[in-house]
Every structure is written in structure tokens, then in C-alpha cells.
Amino acid sequence: MRGPHNIWRLIRTGATLERTGAMGLVLDAFDAPPSLRMVARVLAWPFAWLGHKGDPSMPPATRALTALGPAYIKFGQVLSTRPDVVGDELALQLRVLQDKLPPFSTQEAKETVEHELGVPLGDVFSEFSEPVAAASIAQVHKARLRETGEEVAVKVLRPKIERAFRKDIDAFYFAASIIELISPASRRLHPNDVIKHFDGVVQGELDLRLEAAAAGEYAAKTADDAGFVVPRTHFFQSAKRVMTMEWAEGIPFGDVAAIDLAGHDRKALGERVLQLFLRQALNDGYFHADMHQGNLKVSSDGDIIAYDFGIMGRIDEYTRRVYAEILIGFIRKDYRRVAEVHFEAGYVPPDRDVDEFAQALRAVGEPIFGMNATQISMGRLLAYLFEVTERFGMETRTELILLQRTMVVVEGVARTMHPQINIWQVAQPVVEDYIKQNIGPKAFIRDLVSTVQVLGRFGPKLPQLMEATLARTSQKTSEPHSKMRLGYFLSFGAGVATVVSALVLWTMLS
């Protein structure tokens, strides 16, 4: 229910941040202005006693988000990858949220497995360990298949997690509605659409059958990606609240010291994870949208292992081309072209001035080039970019939310491996390769072939479609028979044109 009762949930959010000591840390991390600090503390302090106490053994931020629930934990997971945005201290606290949360009992996990698979646990697994990792939505157990002896990872959803998420999401919907009501300027960002999108993503993550299918598709699409591994899914041992995958041994991506001790090249790993993400997003239009350190490992031979496929992203071919043109424009410092792409795609209202927008984009892009990550304040850069988009009336593109969020996460992961990484230099060869293959004469011919194929499928129906259209038109004219004859003529002409076009293009391609 998205009614006013959610006010209580929002009050407890602020009260919990205050009670756990996380309020000041969060305000400092985001460099909040004095006015906002004062309002936040004045409103939260009287209600601090209503906040969740949390686990006193945890750091303040982790303690607050863990007490508030899974949706808040998800938000913290994203921030944990961005020390350049929230600061080293807060990022370090939040990193615990990735896969080191308190587990639920192994007995409950076994009961869930038996209920979901419909057979006694011993009939499927000869071994079943205590939890080896616990996150916001599920935990993982190491097991051994009785039939083959293979070691596997068994992911089991937390008890009653669906209900807990529903409460959080409802409060978010209510908060978005309040924001739109009291701040008309925020409506261009479509807060409710953003929450709706997040809601859909989360619902997909709560059905492990969908995650198993996503893992299978992702493995197929990335099979040829050098230095990248997706563990095999065991579909017969998976269900709605249980998923079984091949066990992947490796060093967690967040354990930099262990990666150094094993002799792996962190610079190469940082560059590879960023390029892999871009290549998968642009070439496949299908990418891992939760690619934080807790979902990545480094194998003994240096391969990057990915797992946890509850959140995957898709972008269509047109959007990929727009995204690539924007990226390559920034890389080449062609801010005029970047501005034009925004207007052509309808991202910026047509009544705005393209030259002014290009100038504003230059102010965003220029500070990046020639600098390493330690010299760039991504927080200030994002804040300025927000001001630019607000000034030009650019609206939130819900189809790009996952792509944008994942880009932020992956960049943070890459910088954990190599703090001096220059994302533009690393991205350039991947984007340029995509541009060569998908924007130019080859892509134009490929698009024409696709168009002809579609027309060809409708070829047999063209006479009936034209006849039906002209029959409706003839009711309003005095020349129905001539219209009908014209319809047959046009249908025949369209069919001939389709065949001729197909033959011409086939000859060109041959």
C-alpha cells in the first residue's frame, strides 16, 4: 500500500540514521550544504529514539542500512564502489554489505531447498555446507551433487524477503510522489518511473528461475570473451527460491591484498573489467547490471569470474548507437556532435539551443582529460552535470537507468584495481570498434537487409492490406472501383519492389 502510512517508514529511516550515528557521516560524504545539514538534524533528532538500533558491532552506515532492510542495503552496495563520491571511510563501511551480512540458519536453507525441489535434500546433495556468503536477498552454500560429485554453489532466498522488499518499495513510491508534489522541478527526473523501474528489477531478482535463465543467456553471449568466465547453471536443481551453479574458485575482487599476493596484474584487471562491460553492453545489448566487487572473483589463471545474475540489463540497437556516439564524442572532444546526438535522440527538448548545450557539455568533459582518477572529484563532476541537464530540461531516460548505474559501479570496481585508471582512454578502443561495425556503410546495408526481410514477410498480405485500406476509403468517395484497381496495382508494385530490393542487396553483400 502506497498511502500516508509510509510516512512512518520514512520517519524511521531518518531516525535510524540519527540513532546509529550514520546521519553525520552521510551528510559529510555527500558534502551537504549547511542549510540541509541543519534541516536534517533538526527533523531527525527528536525522533532518534524511534529509529532501529541495529547491530552495535557494525560501523554506523552499515549498521543503519542493515537495520532498515534489503532495499536500503542494495543502495548501499552501489555506493560502496564509489569512494570518489562518498569518501574512503564510508565506502569501506558499505563494502561489508556486498556479501558479508549476517546469514540465516542453515536449517531454514535446507527446508527451503527441499520445499522448492520437492525431494529430500540428501537425494540431491551429498554435502551441504554452512553459509559461505550472505547478501541482502539471498545467501550461498557450498554443496556437492550426489549424482556426479561435482562441487556447486546453492543460492537460497532469505525467508520472507519478498514481503520485506515490498514494504521498502512502497515507502519509496510514497517518497517519490511527495517529492514530485512539493518540487515541480523534480518531475523532469520522473521519480515514480525510476522507482517503478527499480521495482521491476527487484521483482525479477526475487525469482531465481529468471536468474538461472539470465545466467544461461549471459554465458552463451560471453562465451568468446577472453579472460571472462560465467559458471554453468544446473537448471534441474534450481527453482523459484533456489538456484544451483557450478562452483567457481577464486579471490574476491574486493580483496586487493590477496590479488597482489597471488601476483595478478591489477592494472590489467581494472582495464579488462571496464572494457568487458562496455563491449557486452554495446555489442550484445545485454550486460551484468550488478557488477560490484562482491559479484566478481579472480581465478588462479587471472580470468574474471562473474556470478549473481539477478539484475541484468538490456538496451536496444538504436539506444546502443546513441550511447556509443555520445561516448565517442566525449572521447574525441567533439562536444557539438554529443549535443546533436542528444537532440536527435529526443533527450533534450528541441526548443533549446544546441550550441549552448555543446558549450555546457565541454565544461563537463574537459576537466576529465589529461587527469588520473586521484585528481578528479567525481562527486563535483556529477553535481555539475546534473545542473547542466536541469538547465536544458533533459528528462530521465528510464531505459538507461541500469546502464548508467552499472557504468558508475564498474568504474568504481576498475578504480579499486587501478586507482589511476583513465576511463576514457580505456573505453576508446571498444567504442571505436563498435562505431566502425555499427555506424557507417556496413551498418546501413545491414539495416536495409533487415527492412527488406520484414517487408518480405508481409509481402503476401500486401494486397489484402491495401484492399482493406482502400475499401474503407472508398466509402467516402464516388470512385470505389478505380480505388480498388489502384490498390491491386500498388500491392503488385510493392511486392515487385520488395523482391527487386532483396535481390540487389543480396548481390551487394555477396
Q: pLDDT tens for the chain, 510 residues: list them.
A: 555 666 777 777 878 888 887 787 777 765 666 765 676 676 677 777 777 888 888 888 888 888 887 777 776 766 665 555 566 667 767 766 655 678 899 999 999 999 999 999 999 999 999 999 888 789 999 999 999 999 999 999 999 888 888 887 887 788 777 767 766 655 655 677 767 766 777 777 889 999 999 999 999 999 999 999 999 999 999 999 999 999 999 999 989 999 999 999 999 999 999 999 999 998 999 999 888 888 899 999 999 999 889 888 888 888 888 888 887 887 788 989 988 988 888 888 888 999 998 998 888 777 766 565 555 554 455 556 666 766 787 765 655 656 766 777 788 888 889 888 877 788 888 888 888 887 766 666 766 776 766 666 666 776 777 777 777 766 655 555 555 455 544 444 444 444 444 444 344 444
Q: What is the pLDDT of residue 379?
A: 46
For 18, counting Cβ atoms within 10 Å of its Cβ (0-12 exposed, 13-18 middle, 19+ buried), the class is: buried
Catalytic residue among 84, 225, 290, 303: 290
- Active-site annotation holds for 290: yes
- Residue 17's contacts (CB-CB under 8 Å, 6 or more residues apart) are 23, 26, 44, 51, 64
Do 269 and 259 touch, CB atoms closer than 8 A? yes
Q: What is the pLDDT of residue 85?
A: 57
| CA-based radius of gyration for the chain | 27
What is the number of residues in the chain? 510
Q: What is the pLDDT of residue 494?
A: 46
Q: What is the pLDDT of residue 356?
A: 92
Q: What is the pLDDT of residue 287?
A: 92
Q: What is the pLDDT of residue 444?
A: 64
Counts of helices then strands in the chain (DSSP H, E): 23, 11
**Vertex 87, ends 81 and 88: CA angle to 5°?**
75
The cell numbers describing 190, all together, are 520522473
Q: Say how many C-beta atoms besides its own lie within 10 A of residue 366's C-beta.
A: 12
User: Could you give the CA distance from residue 265 to residue 225 in angstroms, rounded to a whole number?
Assistant: 18
User: Could you give the CA distance from residue 87 to residue 399 in angstroms, rounded to a whole number?
Assistant: 29
Q: What is the pLDDT of residue 107?
A: 96
Give the CA distances from residue 214 to residues 208, 227, 231, 438, 508, in Å, rounded to whole numbers and listed in that order.
9, 20, 12, 25, 37
pTM of the model: 0.70
In terms of Cα–Cα distance, which of 151, 277, 276, 163 is closest to 226? 276
Neighbouring C-alpha atoms within 13 Å toward the C-beta of 433:
11
Spell out the domain ranges in the chain.
6-97, 250-439, 442-509
